[in-house]
Amino acid sequence: MRDMLQEILFISYIFFVLLILEVWHRSNIIHVFEWLITNPYIVFLNFIFILSIVYLMQSLTGQRRLALWISTSVFLFFFTASKIKLNLKGEPLEY
């Protein structure tokens, strides 16, 4: 039961990170919820991408908590850089 609760919290954390990054990028939570409703496949792909990066970091570090911190920090860095470029030049960062 405890392992199942930890997995549910882990998946919830990944979805929370996705929401926070999108709110940070779009600057409005209403736009994020509109995006969630109108683009469910893209949301799912973003979720799978974040989850795979976290699992990759977990396999490299061997610790789930450290993998969450590292991957969240990396995603925040890239989203911040993209947001700054969007504000300055009017175009998002291309990866």
> Which are the contacts of 68, defined by CB distance < 8 A and separation ≥ 6?
13, 54, 57
Asked if residue 95 belongs to a domain, the reply is: no
Asked if residue 82 belongs to a domain, the reply is: yes
Asked if residue 77 belongs to a domain, the reply is: yes
Asked if residue 94 belongs to a domain, the reply is: no
Q: How many domains does the chain have?
A: 1
**pLDDT tens-place string over residues 23-37:** 877 778 888 888 889
Confirm whether pTM is higher than 0.85.
Answer: no
Per the structure, the complete domain to which residue 55 belongs is given by 2-89
Residue position matching structure tokens 């409703």 = 37
**pLDDT tens-place string over residues 55-94:** 999 999 999 889 889 988 888 888 888 778 777 877 665 5
